[in-house]
Amino acid sequence: MSADYDLVVLGGGPGGYAAALYAASAGLTVALVESASVGGTCLHRGCIPAKALLHAAEVYRTVSAAAEHGVRIVGDAQPDWPAANARRSRIVDQLHKGLSGLLKRRKVTVVAGFGTLTSDGAVSVGGDTLRGRAVILCTGSAPRSIPGIDVDGTTVVTSDHSTNSDADRLPERVAVIGGGVIGAEFTSVYTDLGVATTLLEALPHGVLPVGPDRDCADVLARSLRRRGAAIHPEARVGTPERTSNGIVVPFETPDGSDKLEVDQVLVAIGRRPVTEGMGLAEAGVRVDRAGFVEVDTTTMATSRPGVYAVGDCVATPGLAHVAYAEAVVAVESVLGESPPPVDYGKVPWVVYTHPEVAWSGLSEAEARAGGYDVEVHKHTMAGNGRAMILGETDGLVKVVAQKDGPVLGVHVVGPWASELVHEGYLAVNWEALPGDVGRLVHAHPSLSEAIGETMITFSGRSLHG
């Protein structure tokens, strides 16, 4: 069977369903091909379930400290891992049903099956052929593996397993390999829920070695250590050995060799693009050596006319909200419009640990390396009234600006950094002057005052700092 559409979208993750919904709202006929369930990794195995588990850890942490806030708890609070997983599943199911309903209302044809690109630029699914005026590839990503470390889904797992576990209890001892975003978030979850957690990171800084400003990442590292996590930077991990008591992980650091016996190993070294077996080379779509689809990021067009690619299958930040933005660029390019491209250097990043870390724009080190004459100011959360009320004073705001010029980067670590960062994102993207942002009125008491207070100090004056 053959069917014709204005647009065929291959992959139903954030980039794919965003492209389908946006194109349908512009009046295009759309087919969306998905081999599993619409929503992709983000909804089913990544962003949503991981943050649900992080929130469970936050609630447990808050209840455990209830006495400090004048609330008496009879008996000790205990983590209920099956209940946390059940709630995670309910949230995912509800969002999946909502997304499926929205696609149906927009009259997007959802085609179940594994789609491949044919040599003539169509999409083949289970013997059927879907033809479109354009095709958008949104084939997503999968966890990266380490040679010699076999993932079995039980004792050695990836984040895909950890966010979909139906285990009736938490492991007592966990080794997390990789201190990036995924590794840091699971280290935070496990530590807060009482799991003996060891983080092994190959790079010199054990927690978030790449991305955020070092001052902010160090606040998180200190907090994790204070709460009980063991962190080993510059750790070279050997082949784990399964024993009757668990699994032994050998590793080397500058201090020497060591072994760690745990119940579970979480491999969290990032994700790789899923582009193999999809007929891309035969269709004339160029893929780089790492497996990413090569695109012109001003339009998201691939090397084959009429074929575009967005999301984790291209070498841009692997963030759901970046995939959304790229989907808009791709659809508007299909429509013959001239969309502004995504400015990848300024997109907001968030790590949903405790405390949260978020940033937009350049770190201090990046700004200096870029040749800017830099001025930097920081304001801690220690004296912020709202942070004190919450009982969460670990954190700071750091603003990096060009001397006598605009804001280059805003970095936040602390409570609700995920929400606070968007004021910084606006300042960075509008190339605002720190003094102008500092004159804006921030509600009191609020966490956002820390941003205002930091901006004010660029004038040479301050309020509370």
**124-154 residue pLDDT tens:** 999 899 999 999 999 999 999 999 899 999 9
* Average pLDDT for the chain: 96
Q: Which of these is catalytic: 44, 69, 422, 444?
A: 444
pLDDT at 274: 96
**How is the chain split into domains, by residue range?**
2-141+272-344, 156-269, 355-459
pLDDT at 462: 82
Phi, psi of 360 (to 5 degrees): -145, 135
Mark whether 444 is an active-site residue: yes
In CATH terms, the fold of domain 355-459 is Enolase-like; domain 1 (3.30.390)
- Whether 128 contacts 14, CB under 8 Å: no
Class of domain 2-141+272-344: alpha beta
- Between 37 and 164, whose confidence is greater? 37
pLDDT at 74: 87
- According to DSSP, the residues that pair with 360 across neighbouring strands are 410
Same fold? 2-141+272-344, 156-269:
yes
**What is the C-alpha to C-alpha distance for residues 273 and 144, in angstroms, rounded to an integer?**
9
Q: Is 370 exposed, middle or buried (0-12, 13-18, 19+ CB in 10 A)?
A: exposed
Task: Give mean pLDDT, residues 309-316.
Answer: 98
Task: Give mean pLDDT, residues 263-290.
Answer: 96
**What is the C-alpha to C-alpha distance for residues 188 and 354, in angstroms, rounded to an integer?**
6
- Range name among 69-83, 379-393, 405-419, 434-448 with the lowest pLDDT average: 69-83
109 pLDDT above the threshold of 90: yes
Task: Give mean pLDDT, residues 257-270.
Answer: 96
Class of domain 156-269: alpha beta
pLDDT at 168: 85
Residue the block writes with tokens 């285990």: 167
**What is the C-alpha to C-alpha distance for residues 264 and 197, in angstroms, rounded to an integer?**
10
Task: Give mean pLDDT, residues 199-228.
Answer: 96
- Range name among 92-96, 245-249, 461-465 with the lowest pLDDT average: 461-465
pTM: 0.95
What is the per-residue burial (b if ≥16 Cβ within 10 Å, else e) of 23-44? bbeeebbbbbbbeeebbbbbbb
- pLDDT > 90: what percent of the chain? 94
Q: Is 270 exposed, middle or buried (0-12, 13-18, 19+ CB in 10 A)?
A: middle
- Whether 332 contacts 134, CB under 8 Å: no
pLDDT at 76: 85
The CA–CA distances, whole Å, from 159 to 114, 164, 182, 400 equal 23, 8, 7, 33
DSSP H/E element including 265: strand 264-267
pLDDT at 112: 96
39 pLDDT above the threshold of 70: yes
- Whether 408 contacts 402, CB under 8 Å: yes
Task: Give mean pLDDT, residues 395-418.
Answer: 98
pLDDT at 465: 67
- According to DSSP, the residues that pair with 156 across neighbouring strands are 265
**Closest to 232 (Cα-Cα) out of 207, 264, 265, 269:** 207
